[in-house]
């Protein structure tokens, strides 16, 4: 079952400026589309609108069947909420089986809990569960109604790192061959789960592509910086312009992991900052009037000079100026 959405909706709260979402996307049968963007970009509002939780203009269709005017419980979507939204007064089995009130053909709750490795939780209640256990139960509840499409709203955001990694692996297995839309601000999760990524900012989708296209060839400085690339103002970096044969102005995007760090190379650069990240160091270098980040196993001292190597085939000119990136 493929999904098409082209929705427009305006949201407002007391005393707050209204926020407008105007976005379109398609998801092919069996494809996982990840909507990636900063906090406040409208990702969750878009997902909830597609699910039918908010009034909107524009069509939402499953194959050729329009569901825009259908209530949420009859749109054939399975929705996994960021805060789990489990019913605290129901057992886990009752939570997973809740969809049988609205759907005639549902999966067996006990079998689903076993499939997700949490069958021992069947008679417990949500307040007694860990975050990871709640998330598995929420996933089981969404799958129980045999949805045509899975909609997942940052389901790993509140989990600790080891639990998030384990659940990310489980999700990759669960979503295989499932039509799914997954919302996140985490680029590691996006890369791990996406067949395609839609980057969202300020209520609009600004680029859609494969993970390689998004991360290696960002369409704008905003996308470059949000996905972790260096976004280098070319006119402020004459040393780079000389070695890379860049245009005289604009913004060049380059992944930090693509830059070589050593005792010789293209450009000599000063170490500004060193941050340990798991098994490597993320080092900020000063090159001319710009800063450039790179990864290295070395642990240089602040103020030390090292040489950087820039692979020309990984450099992508993506705009005319560096834009600020929302947090």
What's the pLDDT at 327? 43
Q: Is the pLDDT of residue 322 over 80?
A: no
Strand order in the sheet with 305-309: 260-262, 305-309, 267-277, 280-287, 290-296
The answer for 203, left when phi > 0, alpha when psi is -120 to 50, beta otherwise, is: left
Q: Reduce the secondary structure of the chain to three states and give it as a string.
A: CCEEEEEEEEECCCCCCCEEEEEEEEECCCCEEEEECCCCCCHHHHHHHHHCCCCCECCEEECCEECCCCCHHHCCEEEECCCCCCCCCCCHHHHHHHHHHCCCCCCCHHHHHHHCCCHHHCCCCHHHCCHHHHHHHHHHHHHHCCCCEEEEECCCCCCCHHHHHHHHHHHHHHCCCCCEEEEECCHHHHHHHCCEEEEEECCEEEEEECHHHHHHCCCCHHHHHHCCCEEEEHHHCHHHHHHHCCCCCCEEEECHHHCEEECCCCEEEEEEEEEEECCEEEEEEEECCEEEEEEECCCCCCCCEEEEECCHHHCEEEECCCCCCCC
Q: Other C-beta atoms within 10 Å of 72: how many? A: 15
pLDDT at residue 315 greater than cutoff 80: yes
The tokens of 47 are what?
Answer: 């997902």
Domain 3-223, CATH = 3.40.50.300
Give the CA angle between residues 202, 204, 205 to the nearest 5°: 125
Look at 79-88, 179-188, 223-232, 279-288 and tell me which has the smallest mean pLDDT: 79-88
Over residues 9-19, the pLDDT tens digits come to: 999 866 667 89
* Range name among 28-42, 92-106, 138-152 with the lowest pLDDT average: 92-106
For residues 184 and 199, what is the distance between their CA atoms, to the nearest angstrom? Answer: 10
Least confident window among 19-28, 174-183, 221-230, 276-285:
174-183
| Average pLDDT of the residues in 75-85 | 88
Q: What percent of the chain has pLDDT over 90?
A: 71
Give the pLDDT of residue 323. 54
Q: In this predicted structure, what is the pLDDT of residue 325? A: 45
Give the pLDDT confidence score for residue 15 in this predicted structure: 62
Give yes or no on whether 3-223 and 229-319 have one common fold: no
Residue 90 has a pLDDT of 94
Least confident piece of the model among 21-30, 144-153, 217-226, 291-300: 144-153
Pick 206 or 171 by higher pLDDT: 206
Q: What is the pLDDT of residues 26-57, one digit of tens each?
A: 999 999 999 999 999 999 999 999 999 999 99
Pick 215 or 242 by higher pLDDT.
215
In this predicted structure, the answer to whether residue 324 has a pLDDT above a threshold of 70 is no
Average pLDDT over residues 190-218: 96
Is there a contact between 287 and 240 (Cβ–Cβ < 8 Å)? yes
CA dihedral 59, 60, 62, 63 (to 10 degrees): 30
Average pLDDT over residues 176-188: 92
Asked which of 83-87, 187-191, 212-216 is least confident by mean pLDDT, the reply is 83-87
| pLDDT value, residue 170 | 82
Q: How far apart are CA 57 and CA 104, in angstroms?
A: 30
- Cβ atoms of 243 and 310 closer than 8 Å: yes
Question: What CATH number was assigned to the domain covering residues 229-319?
Answer: 2.40.50.140
The domain locations on the chain are 3-223, 229-319
| Pick from 101-110, 139-148, 274-283: least confident | 101-110
pLDDT mean across residues, the chain: 91
- CA trace torsion 305, 282, 255, 152 (10° rounding): -170
How distant, in Å, are the alpha carbons of 80, 121, 142, 256 from that of 98? 14, 16, 10, 47
- Average pLDDT in the 259-286 region? 96
Give the whole-number percent of the chain exceeding pLDDT 70: 97
Q: What are phi and psi of 307, to 5 degrees?
A: -105, 140
- In the predicted structure, residue 77 carries a pLDDT above the cut 50: yes
Q: What is the mean pLDDT of residues 183-208?
A: 95
């Amino acid at each position: 079952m493929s999904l098409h959405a082209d929705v427009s909706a305006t949201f407002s709260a007391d005393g707050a400026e209204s926020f407008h979402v105007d976005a379109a996307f398609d998801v092919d049968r069996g494809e996982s589309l990840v909507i990636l963007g900063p906090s406040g970009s409208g990702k969750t509002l878009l997902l909830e609108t597609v699910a039918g939780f908010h009034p909107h203009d524009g069509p939402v269709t499953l194959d050729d069947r329009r569901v825009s005017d259908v209530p949420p419980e009859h749109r054939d979507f399975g929705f996994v909420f960021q805060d789990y939204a489990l019913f605290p007064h129901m057992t886990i089995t009752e939570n997973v089986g809740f969809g049988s009130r609205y759907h005639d053909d549902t999966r067996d709750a006990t079998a689903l809990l076993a499939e997700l490795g949490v069958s021992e939780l069947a008679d417990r209640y949500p307040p007694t569960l860990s975050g990871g256990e709640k998330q598995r139960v929420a996933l089981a509840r969404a799958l129980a109604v045999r949805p045509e499409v899975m909609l997942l709203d940052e389901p790993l955001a509140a989990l600790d790192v080891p639990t998030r990694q384990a659940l990310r692996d489980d999700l990759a297995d669960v979503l295989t061959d499932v039509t799914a839309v997954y919302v996140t601000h985490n680029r590691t999760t996006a890369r791990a789960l996406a067949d395609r990524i839609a980057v969202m900012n300020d209520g609009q989708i600004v680029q859609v592509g494969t993970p390689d296209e998004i991360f290696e060839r960002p369409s704008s400085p905003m996308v470059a910086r949000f996905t972790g690339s260096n976004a280098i103002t070319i006119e402020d970096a004459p040393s780079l312009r000389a070695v890379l044969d860049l245009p005289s102005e604009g913004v060049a995007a380059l992944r930090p992991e693509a830059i070589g760090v050593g005792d010789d190379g293209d450009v000599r650069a000063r170490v500004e900052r060193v941050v340990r990240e798991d098994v490597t160091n993320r080092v900020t270098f000063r090159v001319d009037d710009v800063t450039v980040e790179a990864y290295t196993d070395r642990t240089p001292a602040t103020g030390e000079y090292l040489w950087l190597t820039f692979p020309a085939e990984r450099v992508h000119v993506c705009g005319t100026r560096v834009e600020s990136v929302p947090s």
